[in-house]
Structure 1
Amino acid sequence: MDFRSIVLVLVLCVVSTTVLVQTSAPGVACERKNATTCEECLQNVTCLWCITTKACVTYPTKTILPPHALCPLNDARWGLCWMNFQALIITLAVVGGILIIAFLVCLFCCCKCENFGSNRSEAKMERQANKLRTKQSERKIEMNMRHEEIRKKYGLSGPNPYSKFS
């Protein structure tokens, strides 16, 4: 083994032990702050403060919401001492709903505007095609008039003698 691989193994060992210590320590740290205030308890992100029992407990990460037996939602504090967990959930749900509705409205408006733009471009193309058709028909009429003038000039304006054969 070379020096780099030894250093890599040592760094991995140090990182893994700090991760293990950090994952096991917050539970102990939360329970140690039971006799303190809400502010001191919530300094650690993994802690949950219950007002009725004045207990600092580790947030149950296996369940999304803390169970009622641990602490009722309206008495639980997480992150902020002045906002209960139930109000926090309702606020986040309302903000999330508003963001989703705003996204859908923007998406609908963009699609609507895009279709409006394509309708406008189709109408423009149709107008250009009509202009080209009218110019072409005018040119055709002018060409026929010139041909008639040439026929008159050379005395070929009468009935076509070859029309019997066609």
Structure 2
Amino acid sequence: MTSTELEEIVPVLRYANYEVTSPVDDGYNCAAWAVGDNVRFWDPSPIGAYHWPDGLPRDRSTATYILAFETVGFSVGGDASLEAGIEKIAIYGLNGQFQHAARQLADGRWASKCGEKEDIIHSHPYELEGDELGYGAVVAIMRRSLTGAAR
């Protein structure tokens, strides 16, 4: 897929400073990628062979996704700045529904998996916001300590 094709799917990328860092891979999605899992597709759908933490509701609300990320050690709090020893993810939502998740890299930039398409690196999580062209708005920044974090 070319950058132009990716920008057709995620139009806000036309205005973002990003680079494609992987080929298309439908084996995982943005939620999985954000928490460092690039072998499973995290989705609450009861249909299909998706991963979803036991005991959580099977809906697409941002609140439910936040609960899912808490099961792997993340907690809500902080901002998008780089902090030593802390791993951060940004949760995007629109009208209360989960849209996307991105994770911060060690150099302060952010990484996203664009649906079932490529992984990208972008400068800041807010670059991907937009109700019609992007992933809604960043509704939460979550963080976990890198000490003992499963990756």
Q: Which has the larger radius of gyration?
A: 1
Structure with a larger share of its residues in strand: 2
Higher relative contact order (CA 8 A, sep 6+): 2
TM-score (norm 1): 0.20
TM-score (norm 2): 0.21
